[in-house]
Amino acid sequence: MPTYKAPLRDVRFLMNEMFDFQAHFATLSNGALADSDTVDMILEGTADLCENVLAPIYQSGDQEGCHFDNGVVTTPKGYKEAYDQFVQGGWQGLSYPEQYGGQGLPMSLNLVKSEMMGTANWSFTMYPGLSSGCMNTILQYGTEEQKDTYMPKLVEGTWSGTMCLTEPQCGTDLGQVKTRAEPEADGTYKLFGTKIFISAGEHDLAENIIHIVLARLPDAPKGTKGISLFIVPKFIPQADGTIGERNPVTCGSIEHKMGIRASATAVLNFDGAIGYLIGEPNKGLNAMFTFMNTARIGTAVQGIAHAELSYQGSLPYAKERISMRALSGKKDPDKVADAIIHHADVRRLLLTQKAVAEGGRAMIYYAAQLADKMTDGILKGDHAEYEYWDDKLGFYTPILKGFLTEMGLESANLGMQVFGGHGYIKEHGMEQIVRDARISTLYEGTTGIQALDLLGRKVLLGSRGKVVRDFTGDILKFCGRQASHKNMRGFAWDLTKICAQWNTLTLRLMLMARKDRDVVSSASNDYLMYSGYAMMAYFWAQMAAKSFELLEKGGKEQPEFYQAKIQTAEFFFERLLPRAQGHAEAMIKPSKSLMQMDISNFSFDY
Amino acid sequence: MPTYKAPLRDVRFLMNEMFDFQAHFATLSNGALADSDTVDMILEGTADLCENVLAPIYQSGDQEGCHFDNGVVTTPKGYKEAYDQFVQGGWQGLSYPEQYGGQGLPMSLNLVKSEMMGTANWSFTMYPGLSSGCMNTILQYGTEEQKDTYMPKLVEGTWSGTMCLTEPQCGTDLGQVKTRAEPEADGTYKLFGTKIFISAGEHDLAENIIHIVLARLPDAPKGTKGISLFIVPKFIPQADGTIGERNPVTCGSIEHKMGIRASATAVLNFDGAIGYLIGEPNKGLNAMFTFMNTARIGTAVQGIAHAELSYQGSLPYAKERISMRALSGKKDPDKVADAIIHHADVRRLLLTQKAVAEGGRAMIYYAAQLADKMTDGILKGDHAEYEYWDDKLGFYTPILKGFLTEMGLESANLGMQVFGGHGYIKEHGMEQIVRDARISTLYEGTTGIQALDLLGRKVLLGSRGKVVRDFTGDILKFCGRQASHKNMRGFAWDLTKICAQWNTLTLRLMLMARKDRDVVSSASNDYLMYSGYAMMAYFWAQMAAKSFELLEKGGKEQPEFYQAKIQTAEFFFERLLPRAQGHAEAMIKPSKSLMQMDISNFSFDY
pLDDT digits (tens, 9 = 90+) for B153-201: 999 999 999 999 999 999 999 999 999 999 999 999 999 999 999 999 9
> Does B161 fall in a domain?
no
| A302: three-class secondary structure by DSSP | helix
Cβ of A556 under 8 Å from any chain B Cβ? no
Tell me which residue in A171, A326, A602 faces B421 most closely, judged by beta carbons: A171
Q: How many CB atoms within 10 Å of residue A99?
A: 12
Residue A24: C-alpha distances to residues A31, A108, A257, B222, B243 (Å): 8, 10, 41, 63, 79
User: Is pLDDT of B4 > 80?
Assistant: yes
Do A425 and A531 fall into the same domain?
A: no
User: Which of residues B393, B424, B448 is at a domain's end?
Assistant: B448
Do B545 and B422 fall into the same domain?
A: no
Measured between alpha carbons, how far is A163 from A152 in angstroms, rounded to an integer? 18
Pairing of strands B249-254, B265-278: antiparallel
Mean confidence (pLDDT) of chain B:
97
Do B443 and B554 fall into the same domain?
A: no
Do A469 and A514 fall into the same domain?
A: yes
User: Domain of A501?
Assistant: 459-593
Do B405 and B343 fall into the same domain?
A: yes
| B307: three-class secondary structure by DSSP | helix
Catalytic residue from among A184, A320, A444, A574: A444
Measured between alpha carbons, how far is A393 from A370 in angstroms, rounded to an integer? 6
| A565: three-class secondary structure by DSSP | helix
The DSSP call for residue B514 is H
> Does A13 fall in a domain?
no
CA A272 to chain centre: 34
506-535 of B, contacting A, C-beta below 8 A: 517-522, 524-525
Work out how many domains chain A is built from and give that number.
2
For A273, the enclosing helix (H) or strand (E) is: strand A265-278
> Does A181 fall in a domain?
no
Q: How many CB atoms within 10 Å of residue B117?
A: 26
Which residue, among A230, A92, A592, has the nearest Cα to B348 in the 3D structure?
A592
CA dihedral A314, A318, A323, A324 (to 10 degrees): 120
Do A396 and A495 fall into the same domain?
A: no
> Does B436 fall in a domain?
yes
In a mutagenesis test of the B interface, which of A260, A315, A322, A347 is the best target, namely the one with the most B β-carbons within 10 Å? A347
Do B423 and B518 fall into the same domain?
A: no
What pLDDT, on a 0 to 100 scale, did the predictor assign at position B291? Answer: 76
Tell me which residue in A421, A427, A582 faces B579 most closely, judged by beta carbons: A582
| A162: three-class secondary structure by DSSP | strand
Residues of B in contact with A570 (CB under 8 A): 592-593, 596
Which residue, among A307, A417, A313, has the nearest Cα to A354 in the 3D structure?
A307
Cβ of A601 under 8 Å from any chain B Cβ? yes
Measured between alpha carbons, how far is B320 from B330 in angstroms, rounded to an integer? 15
243-272 of B, contacting A, C-beta below 8 A: 255-259
User: Is pLDDT of B378 > 90?
Assistant: no
> Does B342 fall in a domain?
yes
Q: What angle do CA B426, B432, B433 make, to 5 degrees?
A: 140
Measured between alpha carbons, how far is B605 from B118 in angstroms, rounded to an integer? 44
Residues of A in contact with B596 (CB under 8 A): 567, 570
Tell me which residue in A426, A443, A605 faces B258 most closely, judged by beta carbons: A426
Measured between alpha carbons, how far is A363 from A531 in angstroms, rounded to an integer? 13
How large is the average pLDDT for residues B565-574? Answer: 98
What pLDDT, on a 0 to 100 scale, did the predictor assign at position B33? Answer: 95
Do B498 and B434 fall into the same domain?
A: no
Contact between B79 and B57 (Cβ < 8 Å): yes
ipTM of the complex: 0.98
What pLDDT, on a 0 to 100 scale, did the predictor assign at position B220? Answer: 97
Cβ-based neighbours of A567, under 8 Å, separated by 6 or more: B593, B596, B597, B601
| pLDDT 10s digits, B111-126 | 999 999 999 999 999 9
Greatest alpha-carbon span in chain A: 84
Residues paired with B368 in a beta bridge: none
User: Is pLDDT of B358 > 90?
Assistant: yes
> Does B76 fall in a domain?
no
Please judge whether A586 and B604 are an interchain contact, meaning their C-beta atoms are less than 8 angstroms apart: no
In degrees and rounded to multiples of 5, residue B468 shows phi and psi of: -75, -40
| pLDDT 10s digits, A120-132 | 999 999 999 999 9
Do B440 and B304 fall into the same domain?
A: yes
| pLDDT 10s digits, A284-334 | 998 888 777 888 999 999 999 999 999 999 999 999 999 999 999 999 999
How large is the average pLDDT for residues B217-238? Answer: 97
What pLDDT, on a 0 to 100 scale, did the predictor assign at position B61? Answer: 98
408-427 of A, contacting B, C-beta below 8 A: 409, 413, 416-417, 420-421, 423-427
- Where in the sequence numbering do the catalytic residues of B fall? 444
Residues of B in contact with A216 (CB under 8 A): none
User: Which of residues B394, B418, B448 is at a domain's end?
Assistant: B448
Pairing of strands A235-237, A228-233: unpaired
Measured between alpha carbons, how far is A277 from A118 in angstroms, rounded to an integer? 32
User: Which of residues A448, A478, A507 is at a domain's end?
Assistant: A448
User: Is pLDDT of B439 > 80?
Assistant: yes
Residues paired with B209 in a beta bridge: B160
Do B339 and B420 fall into the same domain?
A: yes
User: Is pLDDT of A368 > 80?
Assistant: yes
In degrees and rounded to multiples of 5, residue A374 shows phi and psi of: -60, -50
What pLDDT, on a 0 to 100 scale, did the predictor assign at position B244? Answer: 97
Do B323 and B443 fall into the same domain?
A: yes
A593/chain B closest Cα distance in angstroms: 5
> Does A430 fall in a domain?
yes
Cβ-based neighbours of B407, under 8 Å, separated by 6 or more: B303, B307, B356, B360, B532
The percent of residues above 90 in pLDDT, for chain B, comes to: 96
In degrees and rounded to multiples of 5, residue B34 shows phi and psi of: -95, 55
Which residue, among A553, A571, A543, A537, has the nearest Cα to A10 in the 3D structure?
A543
CA A592 to chain centre: 34
Q: What is the CATH number of the domain that holds A366?
A: 1.20.140.10
User: Is pLDDT of A104 > 90?
Assistant: yes
Contact between B235 and B247 (Cβ < 8 Å): yes
Reduced to 3 DSSP states, what percent helix, strand and coil does chain A have, rounded to the nearest 5? 65, 15, 25
For B340, the enclosing helix (H) or strand (E) is: none
Buried residues in B451-469 as b, exposed as e (16+ CB within 10 A): bbbbbbebbbebbebebbe
Do A421 and A300 fall into the same domain?
A: yes
> Does B301 fall in a domain?
yes
User: Is pLDDT of B467 > 90?
Assistant: yes
A241/chain B closest Cα distance in angstroms: 36
